[in-house]
Amino acid sequence: MVADANMKMSRAAESAARLDIVLDGFMQAAFAAYIQANPAARERIEAMHLLSQLDDMRRRGVLATA
């Protein structure tokens, strides 16, 4: 299963390179497709981002710590 996914990703990358698709655009499309197919991954990323923002606010003294 993983080998099949790797093969498909390799083919997609080869096609993108042949079509001169900008790497950033290809990576954004691949990430968007992954997140759409895996909502739990989106939730984990959003939770990590929120925790990072809260930690930053605590370090700056904007948010109190309990």
For residues 42 and 48, what is the distance between their CA atoms, to the nearest angstrom? 10
For residues 21 and 19, what is the distance between their CA atoms, to the nearest angstrom? 5
pLDDT tens figures, 13-51: 999 999 999 999 999 999 999 999 999 999 999 999 999
Do residues 41 and 34 make contact, with C-beta atoms less than 8 angstroms apart? yes
Instruction: Give the global pTM.
Output: 0.68
Query: What confidence tier does 65 reach under pLDDT thresholds 50, 70, 90?
Result: confident
For residues 16 and 12, what is the distance between their CA atoms, to the nearest angstrom? 6
Query: Letter for the amino acid at 22?
Result: V
